[in-house]
Structure 1
Amino acid sequence: MQSLDTQESAGALIEQKLRTFVEQLTGGRVTVMERLPRWRPAWNLDVRRGEEVLRLHIRGERGGDVSPFPELRREADILRLLGEQGIPVPHIHGFCEDPSAIVMERVPGTRDLSAAASDEERRSLARQYVRAMAAMHRLPLEPFVAQGIRLPQGADEITLAGLEAYYPLYLRNKTRPQPLAEFALGWLRRNVPRHRTRAGFVQYDSGQYLFENGRVNALYDFEFAMIGDPLADLASARMRDNYEPLGETFSELYRYYQEVTGEPADPDVVRYHTVLFSTVSAMQFSATVATPRPGDPHDTYIEFDLALRRVVAHALAEAMGVAIEAPPLVLIEAGPNARLLTMLEDAVGQIEVSDDFQKSRRAAALKLVEYLGRADAMEVELRRLEREDAEGLLGRRFEDHGQIDAALEVFVRDAGPEYDERLLRLFMAQIERRVQVFGSTAIGVSASHIDLPPIEPR
């Protein structure tokens, strides 16, 4: 594991390489270079070129093996193609090979809709976004195929395009049994909507746009974009509405999308894609939590893992018509290591750092300490209850908690659809208990706020 000094030296070298590349690319001089306090490398730059100041953004590699499309150049090529066809996206200035990074226009604006002037402006922004998304879905596919984007054929390939893209990543990194993921995968493959046979270009992590003064300036983040079912974008936008509101009720935007496209959007298919997108997203991060690697943004990955597993359970419950239930749980406030954890929290908090990026890393460490405190208090009880649930379903005893997920995964793979509801209720109980335990922590707060908005007006 690298020392802090070594990490800082490596970071300084990366920034110098990027600075040199940008100056050669633009023929200007970098006057400001600010690393953003995010979990993935990103910088904002000002470049003076004569009397002109270019405002640029650099998007670096995510790091770790958590992307089905790890080649960052792929996203740069997609953004270039979208821009050439009139979709509002950041302009691409160039691509740096070492280190891999996209140099793009720094689009003015924010994603925070609380900054909009009024509810009417928020509604207008949401509709602008929907129109841009619908225009993207109508684009000819030939330019993307020529760029190397896979063209799925037939209902199964079109519907499951996202699953097939993520599945090799999931298998490659899988280090422990994942019974919930396997259960969801089985359900998805058995329930493909066969009438979805027209493919479109989809962002596949939609709902992300920047606005300023009442105008959507750009859609952004096309790391996972692909050719697939356009309704997948409605599903992922629906999920994003939990923590990044779209600006209007999802049911109204669902109706407006149909008005703009002139085509019906089957609500059951949107529900199906909600299951699919949440499942592949959970698959994406499952190994990073099962087998953490030095340098990973551990707090972010745990947050994603817990929240996405809960969305999978809720989306499956919705699609299957099963009521969501949270089992009763008596919470214990402190565990046997409470005093030691208090000392650790104090020790981390006393570490003095000067820049915003290092402050964000200290904050991440404190989040993990808080999360560990709740685990210290409740993990033994959670495991006891999970063992009881598994023994009740499988009809056998488990002396070792580590055997439970392996046995459940084997059962899930062999079980027919007649077991769907019982299995879902077991997984739901596991997740809902953990949200009760960790939902009050900084890492668990996202999971505690999961609430899929209705697709149609109630």
Structure 2
Amino acid sequence: MSTTPDVAGDPVEAKLRTFVEGLLGGQITAMQRLLRWRPAWNVELQRGGETLQLHIRGERGGDVSPFPELRREADILTLLGKQGVPVPRIYGFCEDPQAIVMQLVPGSRDVKTAKDDAERKSVSRQWIDAIARMHYLPLQPFLNQGISLPKNAEEITLAGLEAYYPLYARNKTRAQPLAEFALGWLRRNVPQHRATPGFVQYDSGQFLFENGKVHGLYDFEFAMIGDPLADLASARMRDNYEPLGDKFADLYRYYQQVTGQPADPDVVRYHTALFATVSTMQFSASIATPQPGDPHDIYTEFDIALRRVVVHALAEAMGVALETPGLEIVSNGPNAQLLTMLNDALTQVEVASEFQQTKLRAVSKLVEYLGRGDAMELRLRELELQEAQVLLDRTFNRWEDIDEALESFVKSAGPEYDKPLLRLFMEQIERRVLVYGSTAIGGSASHIDLPPVE
């Protein structure tokens, strides 16, 4: 491990070094900023003949979290560790800059690194054992930490939605008809029998393993008290791009064995739609009104992929067949030559730092995405305008007016419009995946395939 050239001497890193050495004693001998959009470092500290391997988790930045206080996550991890859940040990919390100093858990999340299928299945079941233990922890320690306790079936089921909604409403800058449609359906179809809350990670399926053993669950930024099946649903979504190690249906059956709970597949499907919806809400303002410094390529990737999951999950829950519309794809638009020049200019930019190279790749991904938009966006908008006019029985002069009209309609429409509206949104997102799905940003959306629950 070494210090990357681009962060050596950086004032933020200097403060973190001073804090860690003051907290734990000893001397930092290596500090490496991870090549990801969120600030994070792996650190090696020498102290009295021992070597401590540490991880520093920095603030996400921006206004995209329902629980923005990073200390909240540190406190949750401390509580979980005290109660026997395998999570990183927390050493301390830095106030300036805000960051969690924790144990560097050994291992990988990539189950392809397991030696064979037997090890992959064992690892995935160890993860189930860990979340099942977490779901049945006493709740009082979390309540003492200020975490809200939902009191009935509706509050338990909608705990995640109610946590994310203030963020969505506060930052909303333009109409969001798909999100509002999903919100309406979710509120009208709450399972009324899920009356026992548990502590949930809420962005589940994140664990590190090595030599066949799970060493820790990680990322509790969105953890709360709610319906334990929400964790199964979010892990089910994650299985698309981070496989869990075994078939989801088999893991859900194992969860039932461990917990003694009966199968409830419709609720898992419901929570899949709910988690996809709140995740879409989380980043909707970042796409509608991009802010300086945002990881624009990442948020755009999240947006198109999550919107497709919302549609697929609602279709599954409603029993509506998925359909792929026909669309003639054109490769080049009116700005093709200019975009070629821009791509060429980017290839000529030389960046020595590996970290800054990630920034340059992000720009390249956005330019590629823009090229598809230059070729096809006007055609997509034309088709969306035509379909909205048919469904709403009115004429639009501008594509920009469609979302406002659709949002107004979905807020007042009865359940009899659920399937026609879903089919409209399905047409919209599936066409966009046809256009953008082969790009680096759109690749995640093109591989959405919810695994069977049973």
- Give distance in 2, aligned partners of 1:15 and 1:218: 26
Paired residues of 2:66 and 2:163 also in contact (CA < 8 A) = yes
Which residue of structure 2 lines up, in the alignment, with residue 446 of structure 1? 444
2:234 to 215, 232, 236: 236
Q: CA deviation at 1:41?
A: 0.4
Which residue of structure 1 lines up, in the alignment, with residue 163 of structure 2? 165
- Give distance in 2, aligned partners of 1:401 and 1:369: 23
Letter of the 2:129 counterpart: R
Which residue of structure 2 lines up, in the alignment, with residue 402 of structure 1? 400
Which residue of structure 2 lines up, in the alignment, with residue 388 of structure 1? 386
For 1:306-455, what aligned pairs fall within 5 Å after superposition?
A: 306-455=304-453
Which residue of structure 2 lines up, in the alignment, with residue 98 of structure 1? 96
Letter of the 2:124 counterpart: A
Segments of 5+ residues of structure 2 without an aligned counterpart are 1-5
Which residue of structure 1 lines up, in the alignment, with residue 173 of structure 2? 175
Paired residues of 1:349 and 1:362 also in contact (CA < 8 A) = no
Q: CA deviation at 1:339?
A: 1.1
- Give distance in 2, aligned partners of 1:262 and 1:408: 44
Which residue of structure 2 lines up, in the alignment, with residue 38 of structure 1? 36
For 1:68-147, what aligned pairs fall within 5 Å after superposition?
A: 68-147=66-145
For 1:54-73, what aligned pairs fall within 5 Å after superposition?
A: 54-73=52-71
1:208 to 189, 201, 206: 206
Paired residues of 2:156 and 2:194 also in contact (CA < 8 A) = yes
What is the number of residues matched between the two proteins? 449
Letter of the 2:57 counterpart: R
Paired residues of 2:437 and 2:446 also in contact (CA < 8 A) = yes
Letter of the 2:282 counterpart: Q
Q: CA deviation at 1:351?
A: 1.3
- Give distance in 1, aligned partners of 2:437 and 2:348: 26
Q: For residue 62 of structure 2, give the secondary structure of its aligned residue in structure 1.
A: coil
1:295 to 275, 293, 296: 293
TM-score computed with the length of structure 1 as normaliser: 0.97
Q: For residue 336 of structure 1, give the secondary structure of its aligned residue in structure 2.
A: coil
Q: 1:183–1:95: structure 2 CA closer, same or farther, 3 Å change rule?
A: same
Which stretch shifts more, 86-95 or 342-351? 342-351
Residues 308-330 of structure 1 show CA distances to partners (whole Å, capped at 9, x for unaligned) of: 00000000000000000111000
Letter of the 1:285 counterpart: F
Q: For residue 104 of structure 1, give the secondary structure of its aligned residue in structure 2.
A: strand
Q: For residue 217 of structure 1, give the secondary structure of its aligned residue in structure 2.
A: strand
Residues 68-115 of structure 1 show CA distances to partners (whole Å, capped at 9, x for unaligned) of: 000000000000000000000000000000000000000110001110
Letter of the 2:140 counterpart: E
2:153 to 145, 152, 155: 155
Which residue of structure 1 lines up, in the alignment, with residue 215 of structure 2? 217
- Give distance in 1, aligned partners of 2:162 and 2:173: 19
- Give distance in 2, aligned partners of 1:255 and 1:110: 25
Letter of the 1:218 counterpart: G
1:251 to 224, 227, 249: 249
- Give distance in 2, aligned partners of 1:39 and 1:324: 33
Letter of the 2:302 counterpart: F
Paired residues of 1:35 and 1:42 also in contact (CA < 8 A) = yes
Identity of aligned residues (%): 72
Letter of the 1:454 counterpart: P
Which residue of structure 2 lines up, in the alignment, with residue 4 of structure 1? none
Letter of the 1:260 counterpart: V
Residues 210-249 of structure 1 show CA distances to partners (whole Å, capped at 9, x for unaligned) of: 0000000000000000000000000001000000000000
Q: CA deviation at 1:350?
A: 1.6
- Give distance in 2, aligned partners of 1:281 and 1:423: 20
Which stretch shifts more, 342-351 or 143-152? 342-351
Paired residues of 2:7 and 2:13 also in contact (CA < 8 A) = no
Q: For residue 38 of structure 1, give the secondary structure of its aligned residue in structure 2.
A: coil
- Give distance in 2, aligned partners of 1:174 and 1:342: 35
- Give distance in 2, aligned partners of 1:88 and 1:129: 9
Q: CA deviation at 1:9?
A: 8.7
- Give distance in 1, aligned partners of 2:8 and 2:111: 36
Q: CA deviation at 1:354?
A: 1.5
Letter of the 1:64 counterpart: G
Letter of the 2:371 counterpart: G
Q: For residue 192 of structure 1, give the secondary structure of its aligned residue in structure 2.
A: coil
Which residue of structure 1 lines up, in the alignment, with residue 302 of structure 2? 304
- Give distance in 2, aligned partners of 1:356 and 1:71: 30
- Give distance in 2, aligned partners of 1:293 and 1:263: 45
